[in-house]
Structure 1
Amino acid sequence: MSIMLFLGLLLAALAGAVIATVLTVRGFRAMLRNSERSGRVRTAALLVGAGAVALYAWGLLHLGYAVMQAEDGGAGSAPVGPCRQAGPQVASRVVDYDISFLPLHFECRLSGGGTYVTSSVPGYVNPGTAGLGLVAATCGVLATTTARRARQAVT
């Protein structure tokens, strides 16, 4: 792992913030334009989707901070900073770390095998992102179906 990983996580979080902003603006524009049912559901899909992306970006920032702490090579850098949460007995056995993007987490690898996940990424990020993402996808499907039915009824 390196500083490039930290920078990649930071850029991904910034991209997520931009995408969430674009979805939010599109959602509010759709809210102002549409009064029919499919428009309201599409608005909900855009706004809830923006929330999911923003929450995931928030988790990426936390993950990036944990990587930055892990890569700090100064005095007191062993064991890896985020892995110290488990206490000195377990932390003294940490040999490396790994990260995961789905679900977001920072994982410490132990000598002799075994791993444990730290609390570097807040516990609400993964379930919140999944829940909001499912709601956004459901609303998107409903909006598409409703709009398609409305077009078929007109013809």
Structure 2
Amino acid sequence: MNSDQPNTVSILLIILFGLAVAATLAVYGGATLARRGIGRSDLGVRLRGGAAFSGAMAALMYAWGALHLVRDETMTDQACKQAVPSSQTAHITGADVSYLPLHLNCHITGGGSYPAAVPDYVNPSLLGFALIAIVLGVFATLESELSARNNFKKEESS
């Protein structure tokens, strides 16, 4: 099998970076919510904390998926043979790595390819957590702006 093997050092750096981002966002989210307590915090604080936790989960999912790409040539060959239908295993021509969406592409003659190695739940979970983080971040920004306007109007009228 002709294979474009992923650079293991690059993937390990991606994993470490993902873990560092996840830890940073989780600490930020926890610290944001712990300042006054979840129950006493205003909506903007809760939205920011939720966005940080969701971003941390997205980073963890990416690191988890990247961990499945750390493979030698034999492991890549086995992953491709498991992903490709048994009638097509003799026609595997090579493999390469896709980083977005995260998977190992196993190519067969005739131009087809099959995703392998990364669990099926990783990419949808990653997308879901990232979208939730973005939406909560946007809502937190809007709520903060609205709160600042209301405070300004209160000060102006008094």
TM range (shorter): 0.7 to 0.9
Three-state SS of the structure 2 residue aligned to 1:113 is: coil
- 1:150 maps to amino acid: S
CA RMSD in angstroms comes to 1.8
- Structure 1's unaligned 5+ residue stretches are none
Would the aligned equivalents of 2:15 and 2:64 in 1 still touch at CA under 8 Å?
yes
Question: What is the CA–CA distance in structure 2 between the aligned matches of 1:26 and 1:11, rounded to whole Å?
Answer: 22
1:151 is the counterpart of 2:148? yes
1:49 is the counterpart of 2:55? yes
Residue 19 of structure 1 aligns with which residue? 21
Question: Considering only CA atoms, is the larger Rg found in Structure 1 or Structure 2?
Answer: 2
Deviation at 1:13, TM superposition (A): 1.0
Residues 73-109 of structure 1: per-residue CA shift (max 9 Å, x gap) = xxxx8x8221111355422211111221121111111
Residue 40 of structure 1 aligns with which residue? 46
Would the aligned equivalents of 2:5 and 2:97 in 1 still touch at CA under 8 Å?
no
What TM-score does the superposition give when structure 2 sets the normalisation length? Answer: 0.83
Count of residue pairs brought into register by the alignment: 144
Residue 113 of structure 1 aligns with which residue? 111
Three-state SS of the structure 1 residue aligned to 2:106 is: strand
Question: What is the CA–CA distance in structure 1 between the aligned matches of 2:26 and 2:59, rounded to whole Å?
Answer: 10
- 2:18 maps to amino acid: G
Three-state SS of the structure 1 residue aligned to 2:68 is: helix
Question: What is the CA–CA distance in structure 2 between the aligned matches of 1:16 and 1:50, rounded to whole Å?
Answer: 9
Which runs of at least 4 in structure 1 moved beyond 6 Å after TM superposition?
Answer: none
Aligned mate of 2:95, from 86, 94, 97: 97
- 2:51 maps to amino acid: A
What TM-score does the superposition give when structure 1 sets the normalisation length? Answer: 0.85
- 1:80 maps to amino acid: D
Aligned mate of 1:84, from 81, 96, 109: 81
Three-state SS of the structure 2 residue aligned to 1:14 is: helix
- Structure 2's unaligned 5+ residue stretches are 153-158
